[in-house]
Structure 1
Amino acid sequence: MPSYTVTVSTGSQWFAGTDDYIYITLVGSEGCSERTLLDKALYDDFERGAVDSYDVRVGENLGEILLVKIEKKKYWMQDDWYCSYITVKTPSGDYLEFPCFRWLVDDKEVVLRDGRAHLPQDDKTSLVKQHRQKELDSRRKTYRWKEWQPGFPMSIDADRHKDLPRDVQFDSEKGVDFVLNYSKAIENLFVNQFMHMFQSSWSDFGDFEKIFVRIKNTISEYVMQHWKEDFMFGYQFLNGCNPVVIEKCLKLPDKFPVTHEMVSVSLERELTLEQEIEAGNIYIVDYEVLDGIRSNCTDPCTLQYLAPTICLLYKNTQNKILPIAIQLGQTPGKDQPIFLPTDDKYDWLLAKIWVRSSDFQYHQTITHLLRTHLISEVFGVAMYRQLPAVHPVYKLLIPHVRFTMAINTKAREQLICECGIFDKARGVDNKEELPTYFYRDDGYRVWEATKSFVSDVVHIYYTSDETVQEDGEIQAFIKDVCSFGMQDFDHCEFPKFLKSREKLIEYLTVIVFTASAQHAAVNFGQYDWCSWIPNAPSTMRRPPPNQKGLADVNLIIESLPDRGRSSWHLGAVWALSQYQEGELYLGMYPDEHFIEKPVKAAMETFRKQLAEISSSIKKRNNGKKLPYYNMSPDQIPNSVAV
């Protein structure tokens, strides 16, 4: 009687094992095995991290094994089980791999294809075609779109983390509860001693150091010591935690009437302001998106203010980026002065603080929340809805959407509020013009390595542009992102159809890069740059000044966050900047969704390229007072998971 050896691997994460009954059915091209209980009798089966083997006897040879059906039935109470993979050794000695990497909950069955990736047009038999369609039909019922807030990208239909499909929940909720993490951070940083004075102001700038005493961080300490300097202010637009808002100024906007006479003392090349603009030495940061957002009350008696600031920046002869003019609103006029470095030092300092506050709000709501978290979730939901597990693009993307829906649902449940809009071209891609723009330079290298890897994978499975066009599943994925995830917004530039391998490569590279490198660049530097409160105020308690000569130390202190909010701010940026336990970094793919040797070779090449980039960044940073490591691949997690 022919016998197949079935090996079952149980995941190593918390609670992965099960005491429930597990049954298996082998489905071949010439027949099916009996539904077989997997039970070693004298031993516990399916323990966490275990690899168990069983013999499945059949009356006749089943032919080519096409599918493996796994069923879980309750023993005495429901006990979830995480199955990593199944291998089947045939009577002829061949080994077949069936990746699973998913949870079986309740009385559930999972039907697995072998680990080889297949495009939909590659499947020829009705059996595998039906399996493919059945999987997608089930997924679309489970992964549903929902509008979280008007004007935002769509999210998954789940109000709470526990409402999510089990496969996209955190393995454990330990360490991902925002409220708990903030409380721990506040306690660990010794800032809880100020909570009883929640609404009281600080006395002076030095007073902020009282909640800074536990910080042992080179960049944070450097920021604390130099935050008032124009160099530090300008440098952050290049390599701080929001290095995406600076643009080359090609023409001064009418709403920002800066004249040469205003800034001539700041210009070093004996050129007029217009000539400096033509020479490419003038940059601008404009927070117009904040215009029209009303002040809000965080408690019955405390107003919080925002300002849609505009800042003009100058690249001096030492290639440093320095601020030369600041306007605190979008409408010029007598009550909207343009602040200059030649003004009183407190007027100028307060104007810079207002820009930093605008930058903090923009960073948290747009750069960080919208453009990494929410966009990555759109790709993840569309992927689950439109791409079966056997599709090569599903296998490519699955590591890069890991826990994204979970962290976003947690955030919607506990943390985030309204805001949002999109970016535009920035004109800062010339390395000679901005030689210390490490975010750009490191990012390009990571982008190219990622694109090269994605290209290798795409060319393995798509033999021509026509193959892309004929792939109904990938086209449905592309359309779902734009038409449903992005709700066909007028300003949405995502395509609805892809006609070539090159366009597919670019599209998939955007997904992988956004979820990994871009998120790392704007997330993990928050503690470095935002823990010194005056450098990144999370709120302003006084309105922006409408004339010069009003600012002094007292006005600045009264404008900055009070003691309690400063304490919560510090706890928040600390918690958000922590890597997760068991973090998987870019290029690390322990779950082997791909089994083909050419893809594994491409992964190995990718890892080598990333290691070279990490090594060169480490060498560059050696000895620097302000090292930049946020785009170092060895510190870039695969996905948006925090």
Structure 2
Amino acid sequence: MGIYKVRIATGNFLLAGTFSSISITLVGTHEESDKKPLDNCGKDFNPGAVEEFKLCSRRWLGDIVLVRLHKEPYSFYPTDNWYCSFVEVVSPHGQRYRFPCYQWIEGYRTLELREGKGQIVCDDADSPLLLEQRQAELKHRRECYGWKEFAPGLPRCLAVENVIELDCNTMYSFTKSTNFLLRGGNAQVELWLKGFLSCTNSWAKLDDINKVFCFNKTPITEYVRAHWREDTFFGSQFLNGVHPVVIRRCMELPCNFPVTPAMVASSLGESTSLHDELEKGNIFLVDYKILEGVPANTINGYQQYIAAPLCLLHLQPSGELVPVAIQLSQCPGPDSPIFLPSDSEWDWILAKTWVRYTEFLVHEAVSHLLLTHLIDEAFTLATLRQLPMCHPLFKLLLPHTRYTLHINIMARTLLLRRGGNIERAMGSGLEGTKVLMAKGMSCLTYTSLCFPDDIQERGVDCIPNYYYRDDGLKIWSAIER
């Protein structure tokens, strides 16, 4: 016989508390306790509260391996949800056990919690009770998180149609939902004030682009306004812009990009040649072959067009990267000339603008939407369906999957649908974006997801001023350790 002390923590945020009746069962290696109501004087389980309860047991339970939290109706109070942070148990002999929870308990149910230490399945081999708990937890999760196909060639996703079907543990918090709505509302107001919300016409002159920056000016936006036409700024974006993942070292020109030494001689300088610079590893290529054959959209009655450019860049002795040749299709010929810095100013600017436009399409559809959101959702679902809470990998991965399901469902309902933002605003449209993502998925390899291997494979391990690489390798190293 002895007294067990039980401490229970409720999340410290709005609506985390509960009016429900909470009971507990302690499960030890020898015995399990009777189900005991947790009730102190006054209201229990308020947001931010850490409360202690004393449980009298007539039997020695052994080491505590599980706790069962029972959430049940209380009086006339309506059903609510409760966010439990953790349960801590101190035995009559002073042994302390901690059971992390950090999740919502919705409605009325019983939740089993294990100790916080990481356990793989072979660690439970001698305990049928823990093996049963592990399998029961995964069975429940697989019922909650099912798979479905969103579009051919894309990763499968969560089988729900709207965010209201999500459980509380995968939905945005109240605070995050509020911030999200406020930011979205502010953006709509800003677009309306700038005249973009209902605008269906082209800009009359290039200076009209300044309207984009009439609010929220920053040193970066001012720098972009001043330098966007410069070749050095254009080249730097392949290293440290929004999409620094396509540039690769070029040791031999592709057969469909017939750049001659004479074409680029003036760009490379008098003391070298194209052959020499290729051998030195100073020539780099950005190839958008993935866009070849992607259907273009029609927006406000205007047919859109999609290029599939090749862009050759030179690393100068100063360490700056500049473009030296651009071809806007994958098929060379009279209808697909090679543009050079020696061409007229506006021909060269227009060629660079088409490259930037294709960069946006590939970044948004492949690197962002597919390789960040949709691939992450597949890993998130696999984690939830295959790894119990006690698994060490579950503990490592879960914080990085928070809100993934919610934001992806919003993307599918607001962006990737008929009449959505992608169909209304992107040159690839809805069908073209799906085709582009499927192409990106078909060439995805595990190695391409491993940062150091990707840097090595693209031959950009030594290019100077590549801060994306430098910072990324530090983050990779920290995660690997």
Structure-1-length-normalised TM-score = 0.67
Task: Give the Cα–Cα distance (whole angstroms) in 2 for the partners of residues 394 and 342 of structure 1.
Answer: 56
Distance 1:251 1:344, change over 3 A: same
* Percent identity over paired residues: 40
In the superposition, relative to structure 1, how do residues 437 and 165 fare at CA in structure 2: closer, same or farther (>3 Å)?
A: same
Match of 2:153? Answer: 151
Shift of 1:110: 0.8
**How far did 1:223 drift?**
0.8
Q: Does 1:128 align with 2:127?
A: no
Distance 1:283 1:195, change over 3 A: closer
Contact 1:230 1:323 in 2 (8 A): yes
Provide the rounded CA distance (Å) in 1 between the counterparts of 2:180 and 2:104: 25
| Residue 72 in structure 1 maps to residue 62 in structure 2 | no
1:95-174 alignment, distance < 5 Å: 95-123=96-124, 124-172=126-174, 174=176
2:54 corresponds to which residue? 55
TM-superposed CA distance for 1:429, in Å, is: 3.5
Quote the offset at 1:182 in angstroms: 3.7
> Which of 439, 448, 467 is 1:438 aligned to?
467
CA distance in 2, matches of 1:97, 1:63: 15
Tell me, in whole angstroms, the C-alpha distance in 1 between the residues paired with 2:217 and 2:405: 33
- For residues 184-207 of structure 1, the C-alpha deviation after alignment (integer angstroms, 9 at most, x for no partner) is 1242x4652414751122232222
Once residues 85 and 185 of structure 2 are traced to their aligned partners in structure 1, the CA distance between those partners, rounded to angstroms, is 35
**AA matched with 2:121:** P
Check whether the contact 2:194–2:211 (CA below 8 A) recurs between aligned residues.
Answer: no
SS in 2 for 1:324: strand
Higher strand share: 2
Structure 2 CA distance, aligned partners of 1:54 and 1:371?
A: 48
Contact 1:18-1:47 at 8 Å conserved across structures: yes
- Give the deviation of 1:126 after TM superposition: 0.8
Report what 1:192 is aligned to: 193
1:87 to partner: Cα distance: 0.3
Cα shift at 1:173: 7.0
| Amino acid corresponding to residue 160 of structure 1 in structure 2 | N
Matched with 1:222 is 223
Given residue 167 of structure 1, which amino acid in structure 2 is its aligned partner? N
Is contact 1:14-1:171 (8 Å) kept?
Answer: no
Secondary structure of 1:168's aligned partner: coil
Deviation digits for residues 145-168 of structure 1, max 9, x if unmatched?
A: 221111111212222112223211
- Return the offset for 1:259: 1.1
> How much has 1:385 moved relative to structure 2?
0.9
Q: What is the aligned partner in structure 2 of residue 238 from structure 1?
A: 239
Please report the RMSD computed on the Cα atoms of aligned residues, expressed in angstroms: 1.9
1:302 matched to 2:333:
no
Could you tell me whether the CA contact under 8 Å between 1:177 and 1:410 is conserved in 2?
Answer: no
The answer (yes or no) to whether the contact 2:194–2:212 under 8 Å persists in 1 is no
For 2:458, which of 403, 427, 435 is the aligned residue?
427
Q: Name which of structure 1's ranges 364-373 and 168-177 shifts more when overlaid on structure 2.
A: 168-177
Judged with a 3 Å threshold, the aligned counterparts in structure 2 of structure 1 residues 193 and 438 are, in CA distance, closer, same or farther, namely closer
- Between the aligned partners of 1:409 and 1:204, the Cα distance in structure 2 is 39
Q: CA deviation at 1:90?
A: 0.8
Amino acid at match of 1:14: L
The match for 1:638 is none
Post-superposition shift, 1:51? Answer: 1.0
Deviation at 1:376, TM superposition (A): 1.6
1:332-359 CA distance string (max 9 Å, x none)? 1111111111111111101100000000
- The aligned counterpart of 1:495 is none
Letter of the 1:73 counterpart: E
Question: 1:304 Cα deviation (Å)?
Answer: 2.5
For 1:75-129, what per-residue CA distance to the aligned partner results, in whole angstroms no more than 9, with x for missing partners?
A: 3321011111000111111211000111111111110111121121111111111
- The whole-number CA distance in structure 2 between the counterparts of 1:297 and 1:183 is 27
Structure 1 range deviating more: 198-207 or 84-93: 198-207
Per-residue CA shift, 1:354-386, capped at 9, x if unaligned? 000000111111111111222222111111111
Secondary structure in 2 matching 1:109: strand
In the TM superposition, what are the counterparts of 1:228-307 in structure 2 within 5 Å? 228-268=229-269, 270-299=271-300, 301-307=301-307
Distance 1:196 1:238, change over 3 A: closer
2:69 corresponds to which letter in structure 1? I
Report deviation, 1:68. 0.2
Aligned residues: 447
- Helix, strand or coil at the partner of 1:322: strand
Match of 1:211 in 2: 212
SS at 2:174's partner residue?
coil
Following the alignment from structure 1 to structure 2, what is the Cα–Cα distance between the partners of residues 106 and 430?
Answer: 53
Does the CA-based 8 Å contact 2:16-2:83 persist in structure 1?
yes
Q: CA offset at residue 13 of structure 1?
A: 3.1
Check conservation: 1:374, 1:408, Cα contact below 8 A: yes
Which secondary structure does the structure 1 equivalent of 2:161 belong to? coil
Aligned to 1:359: 359
Q: What stretches of structure 1 of length at least 5 have no aligned partner?
A: 453-642
Alignment of 1:585-596 (within 5 A): none
CA contact (8 A) 1:268 1:316 kept: no
In structure 2, the residue matched to 1:392 is 392
- Letter of the 1:444 counterpart: L
- C-alpha separation in 2, matches of 1:326 and 1:294: 22
Shift of 1:239: 0.5
Name the SS for the 1:31 alignment partner: coil
Q: Distance in 2 between matches of 1:179 and 1:51?
A: 32
Are the aligned partners of 1:291 and 1:330 in contact in 2 as well (CA < 8 Å)? yes
User: What CA distance in whole angstroms lies between the structure 1 residues aligned with 2:404 and 2:198?
Assistant: 36
Question: Any gaps of 5 or more consecutive residues in structure 2?
Answer: 417-429, 449-453
Q: Which amino acid aligns with 2:96?
A: Y
- Give the aligned residue type for 1:390: C
CA gap 1:248/1:195 in 2 versus in 1, 3 angstroms: closer
**Structure with more contact order per residue of length (Cα contacts < 8 Å, sep ≥ 6):** 1
